[in-house]
Amino acid sequence: MQALMNPRVIAGLTLLILIAYGSWVTGAPNNRLRPVDAVVVHAGGEGERLELALELMERQAAPTLVLMRGTNPDSPDLNAVCDAGSEAYEVVCPTPDPDTTIGEAQALRLLVNQRGWDEIIAVTSDYHLRRATHLDRECNPGLAVYAQRADSDLGLLRTLQRTIWEMGGMIQAAFTC
């Protein structure tokens, strides 16, 4: 028992848990199967989410692109798409309240109910995909949610930080919606 209390053992076990959880989080598959009602982009990331969503829209994955506008003004590309719209598809840019992943899933619920959507493609960063799609499904019973992972390149330290953040978020998500 005393060997288990060794700080090195504790650190090693903690790192092992983080690596295993990180592999589970980022290992979520891209599973777009066919055209859907909307492509929904969760706010945040470093541009990888919007880039993937625009690629999907070029391939006519859906007639509607939903870009969740967070309150972070550091998304000039997303804001430009929201402001300019598109001739090829509808662009909808709700501002979730609260400005959280839970708020995004709730804002999605309003759109789903208003528009009668049955299935969407949810686009978000690899580290965020499991929690975001879990909330999209929990807050929108009966909605088919197909996950599309936008690969991020955060580096080791930021990946560890995001993994820890997502672990906490998954605990909260278990009791939401």
Q: Is the pLDDT of residue 127 over 90?
A: no
What does the alpha-carbon distance between residue 88 and residue 174 come to, in Å, rounded to a whole number? 38
Q: Is the pLDDT at 130 greater than 80, yes or no?
A: yes
In this predicted model, which residue has the larger pLDDT, 71 or 2?
71
Find, among 151, 165, 127, the residue nearest to 25 by Cα: 127
Residue 139 scores a pLDDT above 80: yes
Q: Which of 47-56, 136-145, 149-158 shows the lowest mean pLDDT across its residues? A: 149-158
Q: Which of 114, 135, 124, 136 is nearest to 162 (CA)?
A: 124
Q: What string of DSSP letters covers 46-91?
A: SSHHHHHHHHHHHTT--SEEEE---S-S--HHHHHHHHH--SSSEE
pLDDT of residue 34: 76
Task: Report the relative pairing of strands 119-125 and 64-67 from DSSP bridges.
Answer: unpaired
Count CB atoms within 10 A of the CB of residue 23.
10
Give exposure, 65-86, as e/b (b: 16+ Cβ within 10 Å): bbbbbbeeeebeebeebbeeee
What percentage of the chain exceeds 90 in pLDDT? 51
Residue of higher predicted confidence among 122 and 1: 122
The answer on pLDDT for 16 being more than 70 is no
Give residue 56's pLDDT: 96
pLDDT tens-digit readout, 55-101: 999 999 999 999 998 766 567 788 899 999 999 999 999 999 999 99
Q: Poorest-confidence range of 74-88, 106-120, 134-148?
A: 74-88
Site of tokens 């590309």? 77
Q: What is the pLDDT of residue 72?
A: 65
Cβ-in-10-Å burial (0-12, 13-18, 19+) of 142 comes to exposed
How many of the other CB atoms lie within 10 Å of CB of 93?
16
pLDDT grade for 11, boundaries at 50, 70 and 90: low
Q: What is the mean pLDDT of the chain?
A: 83
pLDDT value at residue 9:
60
Q: Rounded to an integer, what distance in angstroms lies between the CA atom of residue 46 and that of residue 170? A: 21
